[in-house]
Structure 1
Amino acid sequence: SMVRTWLASLKQEGQSSKTINRKISSLRSFFKNLVKNQVLEQGPMGSISSPKNAKRLPQFVDSRDIDTLFSAVEFGNDWQGLTERLILQILYSCGLRQAELISLQQHHVDLVNSSIKVLGKGNKERVIPIASGLRQGIEHYITQKKVEFPERHTGPLLLNKKGKKLYPRYVYDVVKKYLSLITTIEKRSPHILRHSFATHLTNNGADINAIKELLGHSSLAATQIYTHNSIEKLKDAHKKAHPKA
């Protein structure tokens, strides 16, 4: 039919499945209206199926850019600078969701055993190990907090310059500001640092079940998307290095 021919031409032009599906939806509504108003007896869209939307791979920050972030970017020496640096460190080093970061309580940090307890979706608890650099950063932050806000020795670990709990827009703006300095990727949200955490673990050979537990995923299927990023990296390396690629 003419409709099929037109849709095939859109695909040949390189139009995305999402765009084609929008056009199909508009046509369905158009022909449905014609049938309803008795202009046509039957529309041509009954046998037209919508193409599946291709799953987009999670974006992530290159590990070299992460190194630049923590080794070369200037953070202020005041309370705001300390907080902003620790926000980025925890999001990347622990793979936390934004809400988990904001609700992280000071008493959930175990400096003796170098771990933090995180309350995830559905109040599901998980324990995440922390590296020595992050452990030192948190320890320094808590020490400074006693000076800045002596009355806030319990409650949320991270506080803004007024001594209040962080809010989502604040965290988002901090991440966007600093990622803009080190990467050109389109998305620069807290979740990108979670994607980066998982992708870098996968690329360095971490067990997928361990990554699932660290991310707090309820099923392995949600974690397997990161193995696709790893495969894309292997394909790229093969293409660049193999003489017959």
Structure 2
Amino acid sequence: MKTVILIPARYASTRYPGKPLAALRQADGSSKTLIQMSWEAAQAIAGVAAVHVVTDDDRIKQAAEGFGASVLMTSPDAENGTARCAEAAAHVDADLIVNFQGDAPLTPPWFVEDLIAAMAQDASADMATPVLQCDAGTYAMFAEDRRNGRVGGTTAVFGADYRALYFSKEIVPYIDPGKVPATDIPVYHHVGVYAYRPAALEAYTRWPVSELETLEGLEQLRFLVNGAAVRCVEVQARGRVFWELNNPEDIARIEKVLATQ
């Protein structure tokens, strides 16, 4: 199964303009941009035919080419990362397209490798995405963001067959604050990586924007609303800390992790 990774990156983010070019301090005291770190993380994934940064912004294009990345330019009209990947997918030869988020440089390679393997084994899945059970530290970061009115990570709810039921920027399922268990917290952090079959990605561009997608600001809900089979793949942290860069406050969180690696 020929797999191609696309890293959608846009400059004009509403919550964090210029996010792909944000600099993060590394363990050795140097700095790298978020897009470079994401590209390097994607390069570590086994079994991939190619990795491309996908953008409509010349500043991101120049930065990416400066550290050796392949860049595919897309229209500025792309409404989100999935739409940008769908546009770029027309220019690549692949059986599976992986949307590797440009704001998740802490994504371990095995998260994506497990995702690719699950799609190879489950022919009924139109797309798949990883989920990671929250430990106490991650759950605390979710709760802190909500208390402070910040939109942080996303949570996922799925059935016994691992088919996705819902994704939300709220903490779902709700747990009474006084009853949050110390271990085995039944909340799953949605890892913002997607593997699509080309037909599902093409269909996405034909479906209208759904109300749930608009309310939550989550593009993957369009697949659920239209009956696509979305497979959640539970992955293991193996001692690694995972968090995305959603807000400027997340830079310190990620730099703290980088200092220990």
TM over 0.5: no
Higher helix share: 1
Structure-2-length-normalised TM-score: 0.22
TM-score (norm 1): 0.23
Which one has the largest radius of gyration? 1
